[in-house]
Structure 1
Amino acid sequence: MSVSFQSTRLMLLVLFFSLFGSGCAATLHKNTDLLPAEEYLKDDAFPHFRAYPIEQAREIFALDDDAKAFVAKATQGLHSDEDNIKMLIRRIFSRSELDLIYTASANTIASDTFQNASANCLSLSIMTFSMAREAGFISEFQIIDIPEYWTRRAGYSILNGHINLRIKSNNRANKKVLFEKSFVVDFDPVSGADQFISRDASVPVVLAMFYNNKGAEALMKKNNDLAYAYFRESILADDGYPGAWVNLGLLYRKIGLYDFAMNAYQKAIRLDKDYNTAWENLAILQKHLGNVKAASDINRRLDAKRNENPFYHQMLAEVDREKGRFESSIHHYERAIRLNRNQHEFYLGLASVYFEKGDFKNSKRLLNTAKKKAGKSKVADIYVNKLTALSNFIASAHIN
């Protein structure tokens, strides 16, 4: 991978979230884990970062009057907390009451999420957390340890993560509850989070994730000072969140601060020795610095670990397709399908490659398969439209 970081993995919490394991050997800078977070920062390298106003915690979680009225209406007239919680959740998801649109790049504060009705999973979860608290319920964030999963945007492979909420009644001290019921609210557009381990996430951790997302967006837009401002705020919110350290290291590497980049990656690894993205970015840096063997050792272990992950092959296939390496892209998509035959996105990706190759017969066949794999979901309707468009294209071009 080149220094241009076109294929570098960003820790962007789109859904919300993400390394490599115990066998990787790397030379770590002495005692960097003992330094306070501020010692890793390089303010003077980003002279304009203070010019950008950064959302503070109170603003991020605050609800405006319209959102508060929505909560009051959703929970009025019902007798039990359980009924009120269910009604609030139902209203939030109901398009007739709040036309929520999932948008991966929309990292917004709670009041803007409500007004715009467009946000990503993290922002939707923050809004719902605040609404549950407004209604008097206990609301807690949960990190979901999903497998590594990437999406492509603006030439980047973005490693996704996931977060959801658990809401329960705020029982008074004089109430004795033998079995307390809680409700999980999950905005993941691809279901299945219940298959994976969840762990509690504090508000400071969620703030760190929010700032990290905003920083990653700024980095992709080549606004280095704004990206630094957000990564810095993320680390100050919770310096135990490794994603921000990786992205800060990527930013440092981009502007040639290699020692600072090394320390940031190693800080992430000390926080999570199994953090593949930190190891991968460390390998990129090692290769750039001429430490080819160290980089090769890390990459070999990463490839061995990821080789059975179908989403890893999907990501490689998408990179190959963008670069016009169609045969290699087909190979990786086929490998992904062999590992998981039920992901309709794999068939769509492969259909796209065949379309770009001019093989419209295989493209149409694979689109049909993608539609079948999508089942009765709304995505299936999109495939129907794609198939119609492809059929019309084939007919107009007189292609057999």
Structure 2
Amino acid sequence: MVAFKMGMKEQDGGAAVPSSKKMVFAYYVTGHGFGHATRVAEVVSHLILAGHDVHVVTAAPEFVFTNEVHSPRLFFRKVVLECGAVQSDALTVDPLATLAKYTEETVKPRASILAKEAEWLKSINADLVISDVVSTACRVATDIGIPSVCVANFSWDIIYLDYVLAAGPDSRSIVWQIAEDYSRCNFLIRLPGYCPMPAFRNVIDVPLVVRRLYKSKKEVREELRIADNVKLVILNFGGQPSELKLKEEFLPSGWLCLVCGASDTQDLPVNFKKLPKNVYTPDIIAASDCMIGKLGYGSVSEALAYKCPFVFVHRENFNEEPFLRKMLENYQGGIEMSRNDLLSGHWKPYLERAMSLKPCYEESINGGEVAAQILQEIALGKTHAWDKRSEAKGSCDAAVPEYQIRRAIGQEEISIPEWYSKAGNQFGC
């Protein structure tokens, strides 16, 4: 028997339509942050409700998935196939360290990785490989004749593009290889707030993938013993440890801050409250008056879906951010706080301004259900319906140079380099 927590909103529908054939899905998930794992958990829940087995391959903590899904059809395999971005703290990415680690963990052992994953996929009789957004998974699937699909709002070739520009031309082969691997997948299921992803040939757009709520605002406050007249802010950096030196004077009178990622030894002032490491953050976000954190898909999608004003702090060297920021600001959902003001505790004006925001995201948030249905149909070979909705893109696409990547809003724009747009020659396209 499959057991799930209850609380799915009726307007968000149920699972993918049950199939008469039970299928096996292998879902590769980057261990970078929590945003990838949380949205994967939502898609996985619908696949399992539709009667399928799902094997999750990731370095992310299991509790991120088991918070939503309790089922004998959900399997975990702890494997690191790529490092994502190396961060020294929640807001600092080290480009050169990232490329060095990726080279050691993914480039050098590539042959053994491909062989091992191929053997494992055959052993579980996988019907479809899904990736968010582990590029080598797409290559392995092609090698053994299994279809593959990526579900994402960004791809690592675009994130690493800046790092390669900083490191020099000798590192270009990293981006080329990642893009070539992505180009082998059958479809990209593209999420709102997406970056340019020219490596993918066929694209299907879906609504926001957001974890559902299980508790009301009243229930959350009662469990945490927070009075109705207390203003609540959640400090949430998406799986990165919160190591700020928090002080009581950071908050205006009448405010309480709920802290995600605090260490067990970290002492907090009386107006700050430590949350458990496995806390189900959507319920907390929906019960809060605003949130402070960095821009990542999980935080932005849940803030928009549940109309929680977002006070965000810029993270350097991560090309996903400008596109999420644009979406957040389009729906009047966020304001930027400087890093200096975050660290020095100059929070009051931002909290006051956040209270004046009126987030207005009214689009559908059932992307998990929609994505699961598409994945099921692709696994069954029913791709014709999606071919008509897909949009051809690829590393050989002449339109690639039209894309612009912004480092920060209102600042320098960077075109995708010519060497990347011509990478199709390297792929034999």
The structure with the largest helix share of the pair is 1
The answer, yes or no, to whether TM exceeds 0.5 is no
TM-score, length of structure 1 as denominator length: 0.27
Question: Which of structures 1 and 2 has the bigger CA Rg?
Answer: 1
